[in-house]
Amino acid sequence: MIRVTFDIDPAGLASFTDSHLAALWHIGQANPAAHGDREAGELAGAVGFEIIRRWLSDTAPELHAHQPGDHHWKTLLQHGLWSGPGGAWMPHSASTLQAASPTEHKEA
């Protein structure tokens, strides 16, 4: 039998290479400590958070997915259209709304 022991300092996780950190993830999950062991859980959490921190640091954030005026703009588009530069917002007629979405106007 061969016994392999690892000493892991969670305070140094930021200094490890990506491949070493990946190995620590597997080691943390293969830890023979009983399920619910506090130190085993804290190590797995620390390694996981470092992996997430690195992944997010290399991932550009979505900058324009949601904007303050989106709700109002979407509501305007549901009820009419802008006729273009120098134009005006024109409401949909009742017949246009029914033709565009007939299932929304069906009676149960």
20-32 confidence digits (pLDDT tens): 999 999 999 999 9
Q: How confident is the model at residue 35 (pLDDT cuts 50, 70, 90)?
A: very high
Sorted by where each begins, the domain ranges of the chain are 10-57, 70-105
3-state secondary structure of 46: helix
Q: How confident is the model at residue 87 (pLDDT cuts 50, 70, 90)?
A: confident
Backbone angles phi, psi at 5, to 5 degrees: -120, 140
Better-scored residue on pLDDT, 37 or 104: 37
Q: How confident is the model at residue 100 (pLDDT cuts 50, 70, 90)?
A: low
